[in-house]
Amino acid sequence: MQTVTPSRANYARSVLATSGIAVLFVVIAFGRLRGESLMVGVAVIAVTFAVMLLGVFLFFHNTKIVCAPGRIVRSNLFGAKTEIGTSDVGTVVLVERLTGATQQPAPSLLLLDEGGKPLLRLRGELWSIDAMGAVGGSMLQTPEVISEPITTGELRRRHPLSIPLWEAHPVVTSLLVALAIVVAVAVIAFVIA
């Protein structure tokens, strides 16, 4: 039985990124808000920052995968456990350099069921190569190794259910989110006016 956890090197990066975002929002708040609005803005930012840090802490403290004979047990950031039987896994896919819209190429391990639906996905941004090797090595199947660089969209074409639609098409997703924000701002401006 082997237990793997997210990469600790990424823990420090996550805390720094969260802190950087909070500092940016505080600077914007001091530049744009005055008086009572400033205090409310800083309080909202402080609460948001605390919740983000709590989420990062819980993820790196509670998330783990235990590889046992015949099964894998994954604990999420809240400690809830999901058990995957090795016999439930139909395909093991190891992508050495998976790229998305906003990420550098990173390895990724996917465990798919017989129908191609993802049971587990380990991303190189959070999990070490050794952790992926331990999980992939505990499977009965020989992994399908994709060594050439591949995008999330190309991986979805090879394994249609492995990557969510929004992740496989990041430009369309970004445009839809931007449109939703513009509509929300327009509606709020119309209601306030």
The type of residue at 77 is L
pLDDT (tens digit per residue) in 120-179: 999 888 898 899 999 998 998 889 999 999 988 899 899 998 888 887 787 888 899 999
Start-to-end Cα distance in the chain: 63
DSSP β-ladder status, 91-99 and 150-151: parallel
Both structure tokens of 109: 């391990």
- In whole angstroms, what is the distance from residue 164 CA to residue 8 CA? 27
Q: Where are the domains of the chain?
A: 2-61, 86-173
CA distances from 187 to 124, 175, 182, 192 (A): 40, 18, 9, 9
Give the tokens for residue 80: 């809830």
What number is the average pLDDT over the span 80-84? 94
Collect all residues with Cβ–Cβ distance below 8 Å to 101 and sequence separation of at least 6: 152, 170, 171, 174
- Find out if CATH 1.20.120 is the number for domain 86-173: no
- For 6-26, write each residue's pLDDT tens digit: 887 777 776 777 777 777 777
Alpha-carbon dihedral 15, 16, 22, 28, rounded to 10 degrees: -170
- Higher model confidence: residue 28 or residue 176? 176
User: Residue 35: pLDDT band by 50, 70, 90 thresholds?
Assistant: confident
What pTM does this model have? 0.74
d(CA 119, CA 74): 10
The span from the CA of 2 to the CA of 59, in Å, is 19
Phi, psi of 142 (to 5 degrees): -80, 130
**Kind of pairing between the strands at 91-99 and 144-146:** parallel
Of 94 and 15, more confident? 94
